[in-house]
Amino acid sequence: MSNELSIQPKEVTLNTVQIAQYMGELAFKSGIYKVSKPEAAAMIMLKGYELGFPMTASAEFITLIEGTVGLTPRGAMAIMQSHPEIIKSVDVTDIEKDGQYYGCKCEIVRIKNGQEHKYTKTFTMDDAQKAELIKPKSGWEKYPQQMCQWRALGFAADLACPDLLAGLTGLLKQPELTAEGSIQPVIDTERSEPPVEVLDPEPQITLSELISKYGAENIMAVNNGAIPKNNEECAKIDEILKAKLG
């Protein structure tokens, strides 16, 4: 049985880049993406699209922190759970010591040539202490359980499925780079201009939804090689492609 919501890698073409540039400009001006320039928003969209996420949803799964692009925990889990033929299970469990929270263990089971292979990593508060991560008012002091979870997940994923996650596990293994451990989608430093309110009163199909349904190439093909400029144009193209492709 097919799963239409399954996240599958997609090819980035010149047409896709043009669409991302256009949408990145809108996302930047609207303030939805908290990034310093439109090009950063476009690159987040392209990286997310390449991994299989809808462009406008990419900020929920891709982070940009201090110039480093990486997957959020939600993004990593979404990709792994979308490939049950490769990743059988991902289990993250707490570890206790003397009745107190001590750390987390992550076990990922991957299928290779019909065989199950287990990859297990742990990260404990002792590990955090040795790495000098626990500092006053830091994420490690406020959210130790969450911080250990993501470190353990990142290290296990590095072993089990670097191909699926495209090696973007750096921020999982360094959750302290996020906003005090709260794992926000996109965090960048300064904006060059204040957000501009963008109003779209009529709920119609968006460009991102069009891309997810038909692909960038089909959209450009029926629109004389141009990018749809608004939701009204997107709706017209949707009708055309619906009749053409079903």
- Who has greater pLDDT, 34 or 195? 34
Instruction: Tell me the pLDDT tens digit for each residue of 80-97.
Output: 988 999 999 999 999 999
163-167, 204-208, 233-237: least confident range? 204-208
The pLDDT, as a whole number, for residue 202 is 46
Question: With 90 as the cut, is the pLDDT of residue 175 above it?
Answer: no
The pLDDT, as a whole number, for residue 155 is 94
Question: With 80 as the cut, is the pLDDT of residue 48 above it?
Answer: yes
Q: Average per-residue pLDDT in the chain?
A: 80
The pLDDT, as a whole number, for residue 66 is 66
Rounded to whole angstroms, how far apart are CA atoms 47 and 41?
10
What is the model's pTM?
0.65
Helix/strand/coil percentages in the chain, nearest 5: 45, 15, 40
The pLDDT, as a whole number, for residue 154 is 92
The pLDDT, as a whole number, for residue 6 is 59
Quote the percentage of the chain above a pLDDT of 70.
85
Q: What integer is the mean pLDDT of 105-125? A: 95
The pLDDT, as a whole number, for residue 209 is 76
Question: With 50 as the cut, is the pLDDT of residue 195 above it?
Answer: no
Instruction: Tell me the pLDDT tens digit for each residue of 50-83.
Output: 888 888 888 888 877 666 778 888 889 999 988 9
- CB burial of residue 239 (10 Å; 0-12, 13-18, 19+): exposed
E strand map for 98-211:
100-112, 115-124
Residue 123 DSSP code: E
Question: With 80 as the cut, is the pLDDT of residue 27 above it?
Answer: yes
Sign of CA dihedral 231, 235, 236, 240: positive
The pLDDT, as a whole number, for residue 11 is 83
Looking at the chain, list the stretches that DSSP marks H as alpha helix, in order from N- to C-terminal side. 14-30, 38-51, 73-81, 125-130, 139-142, 144-160, 207-214, 216-222, 231-245
